[in-house]
Chain A
Amino acid sequence: MDTSNQDILLMKGNEAIAHAAIRCGCDGYFGYPITPQSEILETLAAEKPWETTGMVVLQAESEVASINMLYGGGGSGKRVMTSSSSPGIALMQEGITYLAGAEIPALIVNVQRGGPGLGTIQPSQGDYFQATRGGGNGDYQVIVLAPSSVQEMADFVDLAFGLAFRYRNPAMILSDGVIGQMMEKVVLPPFKPRRTEEQIRQECPWAAIGRTADRKPNILTSLELRPEAMERHNIELQAKYRQIEQTEVRLEEVQTADAEYLIVAFGSAARIALKAIDMLRAEGIRAGLLRPITLWPFPTERIAQLAGQVRGILSFEINAGQMVQDIRLAVEGRTPVAHYGKMGGIVPTPDELVQALKQKLAK
């Protein structure tokens, strides 16, 4: 399709990710089909960006291979991405911890479905822990962005690449089957050319692309057998994570100024919460929404502030209650914190959320 102008288009969230990748200078996509995100690879295959921007698109033999292709491609300084859904992301965890350990930038898109195990192909937010706690072995963090619209699916591709390269760290777009599959209006990001070799050399002097005579070999590894050196590496990683926590928190607030009850919700759940807030206010209950856009770094500080203002906080997630733990850590007991959510691929209605808030907090 012709996406060269700034027209308002109608498309699925998954399609928007694919078009955004082509337009924001992505060098390579490596992925494996899984519902509900296969439109990303299908759209890229149909668009044939290798004939226009030179972007590589490869269907790998597995999610394990995909993430390790990112490890190689990112290690060579290229903007590389993959996408999958929950069980596939579980398979990628080994590669993600290697990316973090070797400090290699890459973008992973998770269009979540319900679990555990093979679970269901219906939407879920059950991978919050997997995304924000690392998921693989060792002490590390992945930068996690949670889009709540098709527009944000498109916008967050370039944002995530920017963060990944700024901090030499894997970044994840944590979406779900609702945002991935629904069609919505979107303005695609402006076209940005892929970087030249010279630009990559400048931005990524660490990249393994062939040792020139003027420098030592670039060696990308997560292995270090000397305990003191390994501790030093870990301390440096932790310092980087603290810096990201201080500078990269992103969130959106809706009607929090006078809120007596706060709903915290991300992604598709935040859209449901928006409607629920209006319904609650119509009943005279002043509710507000805090939508974390970055799930890691988590908006701990702002939630702690609001804890002193509101009479209760409801964590609304399409899971059994995962983000609620981060909210409780932020609140430190200053105000009641409850969770409401559904599992199994069931997306709660605004009505159900209204009832839950009234039952759990506004008694």
Chain B
Amino acid sequence: MSKEEIIQPQNLVYQKPRLMNDNPMHYCPGCSHGVVHKLVAEVIDEMGMTDHTVGISPVGCAVFAYNYLDIDWQEAAHGRAPALATAIKRLWPDRLVFTYQGDGDLACIGTAETIHALNRGEHITIIFINNAIYGMTGGQMAPTTLMGQKTSTCPYGRQADLHGFPLHITDIAATLEGTCYVTRQSVHTVAAIRKAKAAIRKAFENSMAGKGSNLVEIVSTCSSGWKLTPAEANQWMAEHMFPYYPLGDLKDI
């Protein structure tokens, strides 16, 4: 068979999501952001919600999420994405409103906005990229940095007496009465990617059904910040992050 004979619609097994454009991504090789972006794009398209979706991008590496997904976006101040999403969803109840935030944005500077938006039961979805480090600013300690983990601002490793403890914000979210779906996923294997996509889909559907607020944590890699190769980063994540941030649903009602 010639190449032309093979490239036929009936033989299509994979294609780039329609909502992803051709802008070259600024994300590093091995970073989880690209995969999660793809999943978000696929779910919005599959739900037929393109013309009714507003995304809120954070401060951090995903600040430029708006460069890659062809939907309407607002770029929030550091940590404030859930406040923007709260207002947009209340003012436009038939819209799909989601935020896309990293650990520094969501679990540190934006802790108040995150907790209160979730606890009010805003009908939004928060996609939470947890890579245990500040990626954009060059690998500083994050609220989710593991004990003993070395970063540029804890170069000898995180110590409880100096830096306090990693924040289990997703576990906190699961205790809030306003949340209906709280889950922790990853995208390091094909199976994990499929599960993560199903979780995003469920969260988005909950948002539109008015069931409450939804938090989808994606335990993610930051190979540059961790100073590992992409393959090593996936391995490090499985060995060190998953025991501390175990995958699975924390709440699903």
Contact = CB atoms under 8 A, between A and B. Distances in A.
* Chain A complexes with chain B: yes
A56 B56 CA distance: 20
B74 A70 contact: no
B54 A208 contact: yes
B113 A75 contact: no
A356 interface: no
A62 B112 contact: yes
B177 interface: no
Nearest to B119: A61
Interface in A34-72: 56, 58, 60-62, 64-66, 68-72
B77 A211 contact: no
A167 to B, nearest CB: 19
B95 interface: yes
Interface in B67-89: 69-77, 80, 83-88
A94 B113 CA distance: 15
A61 B116 contact: yes
Given A68-B84, A71-B84, A28 B91 contact: yes
Contacts of A246: none
Contacts of A80: 87, 91
A193 interface: no
B227 interface: no
Interface stretch (B33-41, B45-53, B162-170): B45-53
Contact of A94 (B54, B63, B77, B86): B77
Nearest to B80: A68
A223 B91 contact: no
Interface string B100-139: 0000000000001100100000000000000000000000
Contact of B71 (A60, A65, A217): A217
Nearest to B75: A221
B91 A76 contact: yes
B47 to A, nearest CB: 12
B53 A60 contact: no
Contact of B77 (A78, A95, A208): A95
Contact of B54 (A56, A60, A210, A223): A210
B66 A60 contact: no
Contact of A223 (B56, B63, B80, B90): B63
A69 B52 contact: no
A210 B72 CA distance: 5
Interface residues of A, number: 39
A73 interface: yes
Contact of B85 (A27, A72, A95, A210): A72
A58 B74 contact: no
Q: Which of B69, B86, B116 gathers most chain A CB within 10 Å?
A: B86
B94 to A, nearest CB: 9
Contacts of B70: 211, 216-217
Interface string B143-155: 0000000000000
Contacts of B113: 61, 64-65, 68
B244 interface: no
Interface in B192-235: none
Contacts of B84: 68-69, 71-72, 75
B92 interface: yes
A218 B92 CA distance: 16
Contact of A71 (B71, B77, B90, B112): B77
A362 interface: no
Interface of B: 49-54, 56-57, 63, 66, 69-77, 80, 83-88, 90-92, 95, 112-113, 116
17 contacts: A56-B87, A61-B113, A61-B116, A68-B84, A72-B88, A73-B91, A75-B88, A76-B54, A80-B91, A98-B77, A102-B74, A208-B54, A208-B88, A210-B71, A217-B71, A217-B72, A221-B75
The 3 A-B residue pairs with the shortest CB-CB distance, nearest first, are A72-B84, A221-B75, A68-B83
Interface of A: 27-28, 30, 56, 58, 60-62, 64-66, 68-73, 75-76, 78, 80, 94-95, 98, 102, 208-213, 216-223
Given A58-B86, A72-B83, A208-B72, 20 more contacts: A58-B87, A70-B87, A71-B77, A71-B80, A71-B83, A71-B84, A73-B87, A73-B91, A75-B88, A76-B91, A80-B91, A102-B74, A102-B75, A208-B73, A209-B95, A217-B66, A217-B70, A220-B75, A221-B73, A221-B75
